[in-house]
A and B are shown apart, each in its own frame.
Chain A
Amino acid sequence: MKFPIFLDNHSTTPMDPRVLEAMLPYFTEKFGNAASRNHAFGWAAEEAVEQARKQIARLIKADSKEIVFTSGATESDNLALKGVLEMYKEKGTHIITATTEHRAVLDTAKSLEAKGLATATYLSVDKNGMVNPQDVEKAITDKTILISVMLANNEIGTINPVQEIGKIAKARGILFHCDATQGVGKIPVDVQAMGIDLMSFSAHKIYGPKGIGALYVRKRNPRVRIAAQMDGGGHERGMRSGTLAVPLIVGFGKACEVCEQEMTSETARLSKMRDRLQADIMAALEESYLNGHPTNRLPGNLNISFAYVEGESLLMGMKDIALSSGSACTSATLEPSYVLRALGVGTELAHSSIRFGLGRFNTDDEIDYTIKKVIEVVTKLREMSPLYEMAKEGVDLKSVQWAAH
């Protein structure tokens, strides 16, 4: 086993060696600019880009002409929201989204609101973190121009009923954007069946390189248009200017191809490891609570709150395992996870949460080690915890008057 063990695959993933191998020639030998139409260097680069477009489109059941390359999912989210609002502002300026979206969507929506370019409704979610399609429908007004709901949540792994939301959007003639960054390559995605009009995703979450992402933009039924946010040269059919990062794109394509080929077997393997991690930990530790949907969740995701123990100290006690937490102490802004708060988990349990993100390169040995370590460290920290002590004495913590400052 190599230490530290990496169990934070929702934050990023190691590159698959096959992806790296595919990329290398495009740095030094086939280094042409894909927009150079007049010589072999350019043609080779363009060919590689088109091949990657096809690989990426196949994974999501789209047409290769519907793929727009960006610097990542954050840029894709920005392009989708800002691009739609700008293009269709005569039709309407109301956006419907959810409180559990990634900051790339939430902050973009808030920025549009602050500039007076849009109004937004932020739907709440149920206790499993799921968006209710009925809530989406109820929020629609005659000014609604865009619905943006993510496929799967990066913190709690909950998968949203995207197909139903797509149906509602279609029936009302409203564009549906889906931030599918955590879902693409892990669970089957079909933009036709799901009624998706715009979709953001990126390479570095699926064993590809950082710095490259895509926005799927529907070409038919309906033809979606977006106003470019990056001007200068008209690349990507005028939707996103800038020289294409050919090696990264090649890597992105290869990463998608590998995901398509291995999805079924990988899902089975990851689910098994994750289920074992979950079962063994929760059986050994009382007052541990699963955050997110029990069954409708990403195969590699697990998010558990351990009562009476704070997340950052838990991570410190498991320094040889890379994980993340919803605790305020682990965030730059000292705010606990807004996703966990949106579930109604309560700030105390938000501070006590740990997110496990299993991935392609994790092994059973690593899971065994992690189970042991988690049980050991939670137990040690509970011994150290005045809250655990009070709970054992029968004190109702909710009734205590805390001397906070």
Chain B
Amino acid sequence: MSYSDKVVDHFNNPRNMGSFKKDEDGVGTGMVGAPECGDVMKLQIKVQNDTIIDAKFKTFGCGSAIASSSLATEWLKGKTIEEAQKIKNTDIVQELNLPPVKIHCSVLAEDAIKAALADYQKKTDAQPTGTK
């Protein structure tokens, strides 16, 4: 099994690798996976006026997991919250040509997106005067 070109590209040139401060305004953080499974993804979104203006990721996992989360941040930027909810793991599989044995990496990336969105939602619900 040699790696697909797109996976290698994301690995060598990861998009949006890094972190926002968790307590920064408008930031939602999703952390999924577990070290003993060999896969942990942290995905963060920065939202303004219901639109994701920036996204960042950090991943502990194989090349396909890194590529899936890197791709996710690429796709998230510029989407509205509603559009982001529609991102499916199957889209990731198709874009990266993931083989069957790596499909679970794309599922984890979708989980990470949903977790980040949920975290953002939780934070805005908690604020008394709505989002900035």
Task: Name A residues whose Cβ lies closer than 8 Å to a Cβ of B.
Answer: 308-313, 316-317, 319, 327-330, 332, 334, 336, 346-348, 351, 383-389, 397, 402-405
Asked if residues B35 and A348 are in contact (CB atoms below 8 Å), the reply is yes
Contact of B36 among A334, A347, A403, A405 (CB under 8 A): A347
Which residues 1-53 of B sit at the A interface, judged by CB distance below 8 A?
3, 8, 11, 14, 17, 19, 31-42
Asked if residues A389 and B40 are in contact (CB atoms below 8 Å), the reply is no
Question: Nearest CB to that of A349 among chain B residues?
Answer: B35
Subset of 22 A-B contacts with CB under 8 Å: A310-B62, A313-B61, A316-B63, A329-B64, A330-B62, A347-B36, A347-B37, A348-B35, A351-B38, A384-B59, A384-B66, A385-B60, A386-B42, A386-B59, A388-B60, A402-B40, A403-B111, A404-B32, A404-B34, A404-B37, A405-B32, A405-B111
Interface size on B, residues (CB 8 A): 32
Given A313-B11, A316-B8, A327-B38, A387 and B60 contact (CB-CB distance below 8 Å): yes
Given A334-B101, A402-B35, A386 and B40 contact (CB-CB distance below 8 Å): yes
**Minimal beta-carbon separation of B1 from chain A (angstroms):** 9
Question: Counting CB contacts under 8 A, is B76 at the interface?
Answer: no
Given A316-B3, A316-B11, A397 and B58 contact (CB-CB distance below 8 Å): no
Asked if residues A312 and B41 are in contact (CB atoms below 8 Å), the reply is no
- Residues of B within 8 Å of A317, CB to CB, are 11
Q: How many A-B residue pairs have CB under 8 A?
A: 92
Q: How far is the CA of A385 from the CA of B65 in the complex (A)?
A: 12
Task: Name B residues whose Cβ lies closer than 8 Å to a Cβ of A.
Answer: 3, 8, 11, 14, 17, 19, 31-42, 58-66, 101, 107-108, 111, 115
Asked if residues A328 and B38 are in contact (CB atoms below 8 Å), the reply is yes
**Minimal beta-carbon separation of A348 from chain B (angstroms):** 4
- Residues of B within 8 Å of A347, CB to CB, are 35-38
Q: How far is the CA of A404 from the CA of B14 in the complex (A)?
A: 24
**Minimal beta-carbon separation of B41 from chain A (angstroms):** 7
Q: How far is the CA of A329 from the CA of B1 in the complex (A)?
A: 12
Asked if residues A310 and B61 are in contact (CB atoms below 8 Å), the reply is yes
Given A347-B36, A404-B33, A383 and B17 contact (CB-CB distance below 8 Å): yes
Asked if residues A386 and B60 are in contact (CB atoms below 8 Å), the reply is yes
Q: How far is the CA of A80 from the CA of B41 in the complex (A)?
A: 47
Q: How far is the CA of A258 from the CA of B3 in the complex (A)?
A: 38
- Residues of A within 8 Å of B115, CB to CB, are 403
Given A316-B11, A386-B59, A389-B19, A329 and B38 contact (CB-CB distance below 8 Å): yes
